[in-house]
A and B are shown apart, each in its own frame.
Chain A
């Protein structure tokens, strides 16, 4: 079905172990009552009486007179609206919000863990982590000592604004300065879904090959920050640094680039200072 992840049917999304639709949130219209995303079966009123048999549609030869309706509406307009609502809500709370994206295994969880412990005493952080099936990442992040809400997306290959809204409702946002959202590891689908973040942070590990930014233009193009990660492995993997940076600059001309290692902490000082500064200006 989905070219990237092979996923098919829409499964149940869980937030902190509960079906997402049952998780109320001040960020979602109507709280817990009903989620948005389902096409209601036949809920339009039927004031007209059917005097022909409706059992086999369109067997009557006379085609009904149709009319063209120009719509020109983004298919994900609903997600975009919820994302704007999230953004406004987060801003009012003085939060800096990151949407961290990458291929599976580029080091998102490791990097977030390290970043949060390095920011201790400077920024109070919370994490929303999306994962297809497991809560391993949530457990790892909890060990960094910060509040974590897990979204299990089932077969959904990306996070959506509504999921983030509901998950954020589980956090004491007033007690936080920084909200880090770890998206599902996937460089295609998450690019299309605004979550209401301030900064989209894309990771590229040195082990992934230098041409990745050119292969996934929308994701890299939409990022405000690009982290060249696992730099501790650069020598061992004969990583071509100049080419990678050149490709990153082409695909993400507006992004701030940091060369880091989530494992060793290399380069993370500058990254943390950047976040503190962003939070300061965000609040102002």
Chain B
């Protein structure tokens, strides 16, 4: 169910925010999806077609921003994008690096009226 559940939660969260701002329709739904979440954007779009009917986002456009994975090296005080998931800072070779991005799963913004 993964993507269906995710998009349902996203539409629900979007509706709550839109209603709270007094809107009646969502025209654009923008999501941010990290590369490491295992969530497949194509599957999200497909699921959106199924889930949107009867909601405030019934005729909305879905825009997905893919967030690539990145790590943080405490030694260099810098972020780096791993060529593959190597867990090693390419500058100083340090291994105790921190996962910074790639786990995002959020409703970024909406166009409403």
A residues lining the B interface (CB < 8 Å) = 1-5, 7-11, 37-39, 41-42, 44, 48, 57-58, 64-79, 155-158, 160, 188-189, 191-192, 214-215, 217-218, 221, 249-251, 253
State which residues 41-66 of B face A: CB under 8 Å.
43, 46-47, 51, 53-56, 58-59
- With beta carbons under 8 angstroms apart, the residue of A8, A11, A72, A191 that contacts B106 is A72
Contact between B43 and A2, CB atoms less than 8 A apart: yes
The A/B interface has a contact count, at CB < 8 Å, of 155
Residues on A with beta carbons closer than 8 Å to the beta carbon of B86: 214
Could you list which residues of chain B lie within 8 angstroms of chain A, going by C-beta atoms?
A: 1-6, 8-15, 17-19, 21, 23-25, 27-28, 31, 36-38, 40, 43, 46-47, 51, 53-56, 58-59, 69, 85-88, 95-96, 99, 102-103, 105-113
| Assembly CA distance A8 to B46 (angstroms) | 10
Contact yes or no, A3 B43, CB < 8 A: yes
A42 touches B55 (CB 8 A): yes
Closest to B55 in A: A39
B26 to chain A, nearest CB (A): 9
Given the complex, which residues of A lie within 8 Å of B56, measured CB to CB? 44
For A66, what are the chain B residues with a Cβ–Cβ distance below 8 Å? 27-28, 111-113
Q: Which residues on the A side are within 8 Å of B14 (C-beta)?
A: 71
B interface, by DSSP: helix, strand, loop or mixed? mixed
- Also in contact, A75 and B105, with CB within 8 A (given A4-B38, A57-B59, A217-B36): yes
- Indicate whether A69 sits within 8 Å of B23 (C-beta atoms), given known contacts A39-B11, A74-B105, A74-B106: yes
Of all chain B residues, the one with the shortest Cβ separation from A11 is B1
* A10-B1, A57-B58, A75-B31 given; A39·B110 CB < 8 A: no
Contact A39 B17 (CB under 8 A): no
Q: Who on chain B is nearest to A13 by CB?
A: B1
Is the pair B85, A217 in contact by a Cβ cutoff of 8 Å?
yes
Task: From the candidates A37, A217, A221, name the one contacting B8 in the complex (CB within 8 A).
Answer: A37
Asked whether A10 lies within 8 Å of B25 as measured between CB atoms, the reply is no
User: Nearest-CB distance from A68 to chain B (Å)?
Assistant: 6
**Assuming A38-B8, A76-B9, is B95 touching A250 (CB within 8 A)?**
yes
Question: Are B2 and A72 in contact, with the CB atoms below 8 A?
Answer: no
Q: How far is the CB of A47 from chain B (nearest CB, A)?
A: 10
Cα distance A217–B37 in the bound complex, in angstroms: 10
Q: Which residues of A contact B113 (CB under 8 A)?
A: 64-67
Question: Taking the nearest CB of chain A, how far is it from the CB of B98, in angstroms?
Answer: 8
Measured in the bound complex, the distance between the Cα atoms of B69 and A265 in whole Å is 38
CB B31 to nearest CB in A, in angstroms, measures: 7
Contact B13 A221 (CB under 8 A): no
| A166 CB to nearest B CB, Å | 16
Report the separation of the CA atoms of residues A1 and B54 in the bound assembly, to the nearest whole angstrom. 22
B111 near A68 (CB under 8 angstroms)?
yes
On whether A221 and B99 interact (CB within 8 A), knowing A69-B18, A72-B106, the answer reads yes
Contacts of B110 in A (CB 8 A): 68-69, 71
Closest 10 CB pairs of A and B: A188-B38, A41-B54, A2-B2, A250-B87, A64-B113, A66-B111, A69-B110, A71-B107, A10-B1, A156-B1
**Chain A residues whose CB sits within 8 angstroms of the CB of B5 once the complex forms:** 10, 37, 156, 160
Excluding A5-B2, A58-B59, A66-B27, 12 further A-B contacts by CB distance (< 8 Å) are A1-B4, A2-B40, A9-B1, A11-B1, A41-B53, A44-B19, A71-B106, A73-B17, A74-B106, A78-B13, A192-B103, A192-B105
B18 touches A2 (CB 8 A): no
Q: Give the complex CA separation of A57 and B12 in angstroms.
A: 21
Q: Could you pull out 27 A-B pairs where Cβ atoms are within 8 angstroms?
A: A1-B2, A2-B2, A2-B38, A2-B40, A4-B38, A5-B2, A10-B8, A11-B1, A37-B5, A39-B15, A41-B53, A44-B24, A64-B27, A65-B113, A66-B113, A67-B111, A69-B109, A75-B6, A75-B9, A78-B12, A79-B9, A156-B5, A188-B38, A214-B87, A217-B87, A217-B102, A218-B38
